Amino acid sequence: MTKKLYIETVGCQMNVLDSELVVASLRKRGYELTDRRPKADVLLFNTCSVREHAEEKVYSALGRLKHIKRQHPQKIIGVIGCMAQNHQQLVFTRAPYVDLVVGPGQLHQIPDLVDRIHDGAGPQMEVSLPRKGYDRAAIERSFESYDPLRNPEMRPSAYQAYVRIQIGCDKFCTYCIVPKVRGPEQGRSPQQIVAEARQLADEGCREITLLGQTVNSYRYTDGGRTTRLSDLLYMLHDVDGLDRWKFVTNFPRDMSDDLLQAVRDLPKCSHYLHVPAQSGSNRMLERMKRGYRVEEYREMMVRIRETIPDATVTSDFIVGFCGETEEDFQLTKDLVAECRFKNSFIFKYSERPGTKGAELYADDVPEEVKKRRNNELLEMQNSISEEDNQLRIGETYQVLVEGPSKSWLKHGEDGAPLQLTGRTNWDHIVVFEGNQRQIGQFLPITIYDANAFTLFGEVVTRHVAPEVYMLTAP
Ligand code: 5AD
Ligand code: SF4
């Protein structure tokens, strides 16, 4: 009988990709995926540490497995990813029935560790080195880029895939746990990246999203030659079968002109840039140690608009960071009003033990104030998104059709016509009526309605007019 694997993933796109790869490696050992926890022989939680809430949710999910483990002690429960690296031994302390703890830099070990636990070796933990106390090369080696096998079945759509181009982060923003749990910034070799893109294209994938924590800081030096992200984009352009790509997440200070020009000049590149500002107040940006002032962010926006006039830009913001006053928050609102982002992801500050922010500043903005600021900013952003989306009514876009829309999957079984979803070259989500055969194709869609999050359209059909014969008298 085949063994069954259940995996739950929270967090960012990096984690989604990691889960795809972990599943692929366990399939090779004979595991089959199940979406039912009680059926699984191995249960993995791929975790996130960016906010406390995400970690607490994993502990409550683990809590619910306690009795299953008591009844079926042979089942293997694993915590992998960022929280595994962040909490290490603490995971076993808080959930003593966990068998496996593996950090994001050690995921390649999972199949062997699972075998070892099976063979009775007891709980296993593999994590990377801390960022202090060792030399850089040793720390880098302990965080291995994990990109072995691709698994089309684990992807949300067979026509789209993530490709990692960089691991880790060296920016050390004071609120952020990522440099600690994902290790030093390291670029993957362009040859490996291009080979992987080729393989994905051969498997039928039409769009890829290049991933890096600060993707536009990407650098790879070999034999005295340095490849930048812009160079890499030119190399990817030659991959046959691949029609479109984008890259996330950008760091404002590294948004160089050569990159913007590459985005402008390469027809396969989406005109979409995710460049988190985090705050509109210089006092906050300084405390966050973001390395730029708001004037520089504005100047970057001007350069984006000048080089790629039709680009859509999205951002992240943290509200209620340590010491944030109403004046600081107003400056963030001013920036959102001025930049008219396509959308923004807004987060309430969550103190992360082990960061400089937790060490240096008090988390002194009350929860209700954080909540209120979050809602206010979100409301403001949503009305901007809605206004700008409505300006797109009547336009026609080439949309890469991803599959059935979420709402159709939820409610569509009662015979409603198939609703498909896809994205434009500017990363707008478009929903329209269609058929199965259209999935994976680029289709022209004309937009007839829009809200803050979605454009609604219909497929442009060419009308073949009946031929008209002029009956003229001889
Ligand atoms: N609290 C709240 N939000 C955070 N982010 C990162 N760290 C924290 C934190 N401690 C947000 C940032 C980042 C996004 C991925 O998560 O806005 O861009
Ligand atoms: Fe975190 Fe800053 Fe690195 Fe982004 S750039 S992952 S916010 S430390």
114-141 residue pLDDT tens? 999 999 999 999 999 999 999 999 999 9
Q: Which atom of ligand 1 is nearest to the CA of 278?
A: 17
Looking at ligand 2, which atom is closest to the CA of residue 251? 5
In one-letter notation, the amino acid at residue 95 is A
Q: What is the pTM of this model?
A: 0.94
Ligand closest to the CA atom of residue 344: 1
Instruction: Count the Cβ atoms, other than its own, within 10 Å of residue 256.
Output: 16
- Any bridge partners for residue 226, and if so which? 221
Burial readout 352-380 (b: 16 or more C-beta within 10 A, e: otherwise): beebbbbeebebebeeebbeebbeebbeb
Number of the ligand 1 atom closest to the C-alpha atom of 352: 10
Q: How far is the CA of 174 from the centre of ligand 1 (A)?
A: 10
pLDDT at residue 146 in the model: 82
- C-alpha 357 to ligand 1 mean position (Å): 12
At a CB cut-off of 8 Å and minimum separation 6, what does 144 contact? Answer: 105, 106, 108
Give the pLDDT mean for 184-197: 95
| Residues found in the chain | 474
Each residue's pLDDT tens digit, 11-24: 999 999 999 999 99
- Confidence grade of residue 155 (pLDDT, cut at 50, 70, 90): confident
Q: How many CA atoms lie within 13 A of 309 on its CB side?
A: 0
Measured in Å, residue 183 CA sits from the centre of ligand 2 at: 11
- What is the Å distance from ligand 1's center to 12 Cα? 11
Q: Which of 306, 317, 307, 309 is nearest to 274 (CA)?
A: 317
What pLDDT is stored for residue 310 in this prediction? 98
Ligand nearest to the CA of 274: 1
Mean pLDDT for the chain overall? 95
Ligand whose nearest atom lies closest to the CA of 318: 1
pLDDT tens-digit readout, 413-432? 677 899 999 999 999 999 99
User: 474 pLDDT exceeds 60?
Assistant: no
Q: Which atom of ligand 2 is nearest to the CA of 176?
A: 1
SS3 content of the chain, % helix, strand, coil (to 5): 40, 25, 40
